Every structure is written in C-alpha cells, then in structure tokens.
Structure 1
Amino acid sequence: MDLDAYIATHLGQWRRLEDLVGRRRLTGAESDELLDLYQRVSTHLSVVRSASPDPSLVSYLSALLARARHTSTGTRTTTRHEVWSFFTSTFPASLYRTRRWWLATTLGSVVLAFVVGAWAVRHPEVFTEQMTRAEIDAYVGTDFENYYSEYPHHEFATLVWTNNAWVAAQCIALGVLGLPVLWILAQNVVNVGIAGALMVSHDRGSLFFGLILPHGLLELTAVFVAAAVGLRLFWSWIEPGPRTRLESFAAEGRTAAAIALGLVVVLFVSGGIEGFVTPSGLPTWARILIGVVAEALFFAYVFVVGRRAAREGVTGDVADFEQPATAPVAS
C-alpha cells in the first residue's frame, strides 16, 4: 500500500475528527458526525496496522480515537447520592446476600481457633520449640500488652488498618484460586489460637481477651467476610449455575469489588478502636463493651439495612445499564 497516498486521501477526515474532539460542546448533527468519523478512522487504523504499520501514524490514530471515544462517551462523576446509596443499599445488600458464606466461615474459624488453642495448652512444647524461656516470659509479661501502646495512637490505628486491609484484599484477590484464601485464613486463625493459648497457659487469659475483644470482634469479622467472598468467587466458576462460567465469575467479581470497598471503611473503624480504645485507660469491661457494640451495629447493619435492600431487589451488582449484555439461557 502507498502510505503517502493513503494519508493524503484520508487526512481531511482525521483533521475533521480532531476538530470535533477539541470542541467543548457539540450539536446533535456534530455528535452524529463524530461517531461516523470514529468508525471510519477505526477502519483506517486497522488498515494501516495490517498493510503498512508505520509507528508514528499508528500512535497518532490510536491517540485520536482514544480522545474521540472519551468525547463521545463522556465522563461519569460519583455524586454524594451515589455514595449514600452505596452504604445504605449496595454494600449492606451484598453482605446480606453472602451472609451464609461469611457466617459459616466465621463459625468455622472461631471453632478452629479454640481447637488450636486447647491443643496448644495441652502441648506446651509448641511454644518452647519456637521460643526460648526468656522470650516467652517477655511476651507474656510485657510484649503482648506493650504492642498496643508502642506507637502513637493515630500511627498505630493507621498501621493496623493498612495491614488488615492488605489481608482482606489478598483474600478477595486470590479468591479465583481458592486454596490461597484458605491458607491465609488458616494462618491468621492459628496464630490467634496459639497466642491465646500461650497467654492462658500463663494465667494471662483475662489480659489477652481484654486486649483482643475490643477491636478483634469487628476486625476478624471483616477478615472472615473477605475470606468468604474470595471463596464464593472461586465457587462461582466451579459451579456457575445457569450462567456461563465467565458470566458467573464476572457477576460475583463485581459484587466482591463492592464488598471490598465497603470493608475498607469497616476495617477503618476497627483500626480506630484498636488504635484508640484498646490501649486506653478505660476499664476492661468498658473497652470490651465498645467492641461488642461495634460488632452488634455491624450485624444490625447487615440484617436490618441489608435485608431491606435485598428485599427491594438490590443484589450488590452494578446497575443493569452498566452490565454487559448476556445471552438468554433456559431455566
């Protein structure tokens, strides 16, 4: 193909598309013309790539088409109403819809933690094989308690927030593989069980639960939710139901993304409790009460707000107009 002749033939259309893209407002006729030129220039780019792939021309046409696509589709901004709708409808409905998964995950994890703790109490060699006597005495005597006051409150709250958000993000992101989620979950549960066993076996159980429960109730619930969402994501392509595996995975992936965004806020709250309440001078009963209230509010949020939203038809997925077209299937 004679590239120079091809450029000379179509340069006018490219310049016209550039002109339309650069305008702040377009009339109806100009919008129609822009779409027509977009299709034509897309064809031109395809021809150039296949017949005479000049790098500079390909780059120019690609950039021009990207600008035209942006102009034709416009931009979408998130409004306060959409944020409000997310936290009063989409997020709680997603949690309610997946409740069986994360309630089962929570129950199984708690049982595993107590089983591991009970076993470790009866087999103290699990501690002495990993720690010296001096290290055990330091951990039980001061280190466990001092961990919560080692940093300024705001720095510690930020530290635990980002750490817990990272664990939750791993559970969801690795959900497609399934087994890594179980490994991450088991690691965290076993560590909690062994730490509790070490404290209980040295008559420091009240200190352990007094420091863990204020923030741990909400924090661990959020991690269990993330793990359950990851496992549900894995199951969506193992058992897709009437949809194709791709459609099933895409739908659950969009819901998982919504839950991930909401959990950022939940973990922010638990991080604030861990940073400011857990190491505070409040009586133990008051600190635990704050944790119990935070957990109760979360469950009320799911089973009151979430149930109402679910009954109104909210699934946690994006709006219908934002979803890709799917082929009908036989029921």
Structure 2
Amino acid sequence: MKLYIEKAIFVLMTLANYINDLLYRYDCVIVPNFGGFVTNTIGARVNTNTHTFYPPKKQLTFNAYLQHNDGLLANYIASDKNISFEEATTFIASAVVEWNKNLKTTSVEVASVGSLALNEAGQVVFEPNLTSNFLTASFGLAEVVTPSVERVKEVTVKPLSVVSEEKSKMIPLYIRRAAAAAVFVGVAYVGWNGIQNQQQQELLANQEESVQKKIQSATFVIENPLPTINLNVSKEAKNFHIIAGAFQDVHNAENKLAELESKGYEATILGKNKYGLTQVAFASYATKEEARKALEIIKEKVSEDAWLLAK
C-alpha cells in the first residue's frame, strides 16, 4: 500500500513538473480528458495604495472544457522520458485518474502553477500561484515597493513683466540712458560683423562653384578594364534524413519541429509520406556516412525510435 501511494505521488509530481516547464514556452497546455491551463500576458502595473510596482507576467487560468489531446504534452513527455507517444499518453491518463481520485478528498498541487480543488457543485476550481511568473521576458524582475511621495506646496511666481516694471522704477535715469547707448553700440557691431560674414560666404560659394565645374569637365577612361569572372556555385543536396516522428495532425508535427529546434537541431518538416503522415527530421545530411554517425548518437542519447530515410 505504501509503495502504491509513493508511486502515485511520483506520477503526480512528474506530470505537474512537465506542465510547469511547458507554460514557460507555450500559452496553452492541455491535459487530455481533464482540462487546459491557459496563460494571458498582462503588462506592468502599480498598486497606488501599497506603492508597489509589478513587472509584466503571464496570468494563469484553467479551462475544464479544453480536454482534446493536441499532442503537445505527450510529445514533450515522450521526448524527455525517451518513450513512445502512446506510452506518454498512457502515463498522462494514469496521472489524471490519480488527480480525479485525490480531488474527491483534498486539493491537488500542480508544481508552482497553482492548486486544483472541487467546489460544492463538483466543478474543478483553480487557484493560481501568484508568486510564479511564467513570462520569460520578465526573468529577474521582482516586485518593487517605493516610499510615498509628498506633493510640494505650490509657490506663486510673479510674471516677468511685473518684476521688470518694479525694478525699472528703482533704476536711476542716467543708468538707463547709459544702458541704451551700450545696446546701440552692440547692435552696430553685430551689423558690421554680419556684413563681413556675408562677404566671406559669397567668396567661398564662388570658389566651390569653380571647383565643381572643373570636376564635371573631367573625363575618366579606363583603357584596360578587368575581365568579368562568373562563379558557378552549386548547393550540396542533403538526401539523407534522420526521422524523429511521423504525425497525422500537421499541428503535432509543427510542435515536434519547434521542440527539436529548441534543443539545437536543424530540424525540418519533410512533408507527407505515402501513408499521409507528416514526417519531421532531426537533421539532414549530404552523405550516408554522416547521417549514420549522427543517427547512432541520436538513438543513444535522444530517441531509440529515430531512423534513417534516404530521399
């Protein structure tokens, strides 16, 4: 009995961790025959009451009507545990059975995603973990609390014209006349400098025009031009492909492609085979020898189901 309970907890925690990992990469993770965890990105916000700034994040919700198996969760588990898609689907189904069993008596913790519980109507209620942020763009950003800022008391400032009039009444008459004379001399000096600057600009313009005419009248002739060289470069064909899987649903093939690319493979979708299944390749090679070496490494470290296709 104790071994069965420990095994059930291991299944639950493992499935929860897989869901937790996928929510960093995708906006929706569906648990077949149970429900889907959906994210919605919200921008940064501020709480004016607590003076707290919150970074952008993914807001989590749960939709019990999203129960269709889109292959995302199963493909991820199959790749991580190095098992087949059918075995991964069975693994998820057993975890869902345990979830439904535990929900009758207690709540279920889904890693750092949140908790699930049943309400009085027997419906699944999701409580997200508010401390988790699945938006990778906000990695390293935390909540910031700032002290309140007090407003400065407004100060009445007199217009400049009023201040000038008050000061002018206090300046003696002979000082105002001396200031007016100084202004007149300054204007005359500025005017003379303006005339000199204009004459210098006209002289420079004439010189520039003369140089442009000489440049335009010059003729450049190359008697012995270099011969033209044509380079024919042919792209090396890559006809040997290491197949990662074949999918009836094109969406599942695209998910597999994104998964392989995230692991650093130059993955491609080869199209449909004669059975109507969309094939996805880890990588493609120009020679059969290269492809076989890569296949041995992939079968040993990634997937035993990988195989070589010559096309």
TM-score norm. by structure 2 comes to 0.20
Q: Select the structure with the greater relative contact order (CA < 8 A; seq sep ≥ 6).
A: 1
